[in-house]
Amino acid sequence: MRALPNEPVFLLIAWPAPDREGTGTGELEAFLCRHHRNEIATMFPTARGRRGLGQSCDLCEGRVPEPATENRLRDGECSQL
């Protein structure tokens, strides 16, 4: 699955889950557009790609980031970039 030059690309990104206790345990992940990838990278410099290609941006669509898992691919999503 390759995006055309002007098509948006939605990548699976993981970053540390902020918590109230400040322990920094756990991770969140979401499929993100370029705008939201940049926002997450600015707030969480250790954010990284998780080898997933999605159909839409979770944050643009109002979906809440989920706890990171080994295989979080939904129907119709590709695990290879």
By CB atoms closer than 10 A (0-12, 13-18, 19+), residue 52 is: buried
30 lies in some domain: yes
CA 11 to chain centre: 6
- pLDDT tens profile 58-77: 999 999 999 988 655 554 45
Please, are residues 80 and 12 in contact by the beta-carbon 8 Å criterion?
no
Structural domain span for residue 34: 10-67
Q: Domain count of the chain?
A: 1
Weakly modelled stretches of the chain, pLDDT under 50? 75-76, 79-81
Q: What is the CA radius of gyration of the chain?
A: 13
Whole-structure pTM value = 0.75
Q: Is the residue at 73 inside a domain?
A: no
Residue 46 contacts residue 16 (beta carbons within 8 Å): yes
